[in-house]
Amino acid sequence: MKGFFYLFLVIALLTATGCSNAAAGNKPSAEYVLRLGHLQTETHPYQKGAIKFKELVEKKSEGRIQIDIFPSSQLGNGRDQIEGAQIGSIHFHIGSVAPVTNFAPKFNILNLPYLFESREHAFRVLDGSIGKDIADDLQSKGLINLGYMENGWRHLTNNKKPIKTSEDASNMKLRVQESPPYISFVKSLGSTPVPVPFGELYTALEQKVVDGQENPLAQIYLNKLHEVQGYLTLSAHNYDAAIFLMSKTTFDTLPPELQTIIEESSQEAIKYERKVALEEESKLLDELRKSEIQIEENPDLESFRNAVKPVYKEFEASIGKELFKEIDKLK
């Protein structure tokens, strides 16, 4: 209820702004003014992918569609924005896959640790039939998956001790996303998972509500998490695909030619965002090396892979062994 109250407040504010503009004679010329939200900063690859999408759609539609972008959790947290897309108050959302599992449980497969061997392996899975199949349930929830951008490899940070092995990661309170596999992952390390909304994470770390967290380098650096953490371990325990969602209600109201423009532009924007994310990852690591955070660049990944084996057994029945085999074949 809290999430929906927040969303309706956002709608009211946006509507009021629209009325004010109209009264002032600033009526928008576009036939469709659509809102795109995400949780990250204006310097994050999400924002750059969103801007590319906006440019492509507005150009190809010859101004019939206008895309307004709201970064930095302006439209609420991940779950708020997904619920907004369900009812059509938010039209697009770019974000981590984890909150989507509340709406389509098949996405839990993507949140398992050490599922992918490489980016290329991830792309073969995400861009093929498996990526489409796990998103099938979204349409019945009023959502459309336009494809997968990149959030990047997730790594551990903490404020208590250096982590080189899985055993070193025990006995801590670690912030996790609201996702069963992430919760099980932290438990498999012998630590306590604490779900915290991303927008509250910096404060939670600063006030020591949690000892550490796990996120890609872009989130760690651009949101200044390294300033309130002492240690970074390049655990690369999960390749975090960023789902690009659209409201099905909104999509269905568009004429066919504009639907095609949305679909084509999203694919171009996804390719662009992935390229930007890859280019920036090494630059971000260099910047983090210059900071005061202590980095473990060569942890014992085999110890982590062994530690997380119970996570796979836990989800084997609900996800299915066959799907694991199909993903393994694409290595």
Record the tokens describing residue 113, joined without a space. 């640790």
Give the residue among 161, 116, 107, 94 at the shortest CA–CA distance from 136.
107
Q: Where do the domains of the chain lie?
A: 2-329
What is the spatial distance between Cα 320 and Cα 109, in angstroms, rounded to a whole number?
10
Indicate the fold that domain 2-329 takes in CATH. D-Maltodextrin-Binding Protein; domain 2 (3.40.190)
Provide the pLDDT for residue 16: 37
Low-confidence ranges of the chain (pLDDT < 50): 1-2, 4-27
Provide the pLDDT for residue 226: 98
Provide the pLDDT for residue 178: 84
Q: 1, exposed or middle or buried, with CB in 10 Å at 0-12, 13-18, 19+?
A: exposed
| Residue entry with tokens 């969103």 | 50
Q: Are 37 and 70 in contact (CB under 8 A)?
A: yes
What is the spatial distance between Cα 231 and Cα 165, in angstroms, rounded to a whole number?
13
Cβ-Cβ contacts under 8 Å for 66 (sequence gap 6 or more): 28, 30, 32, 33, 34, 58
What is the spatial distance between Cα 41 and Cα 29, in angstroms, rounded to a whole number?
28
Ranges assigned E (strand) in 210-296: 212-216, 231-247, 294-296
Q: Are 212 and 172 in contact (CB under 8 A)?
A: yes
Record the tokens describing residue 99, joined without a space. 């909150």
What is the spatial distance between Cα 273 and Cα 284, in angstroms, rounded to a whole number?
16
Provide the pLDDT for residue 17: 38
Structure confidence by residue, pLDDT tens digits, 108-135? 999 999 999 999 999 999 999 999 999 9
What is the spatial distance between Cα 262 and Cα 149, in angstroms, rounded to a whole number?
15
| pTM of structure | 0.89
Structure confidence by residue, pLDDT tens digits, 253-282? 999 999 999 999 999 999 999 999 999 999
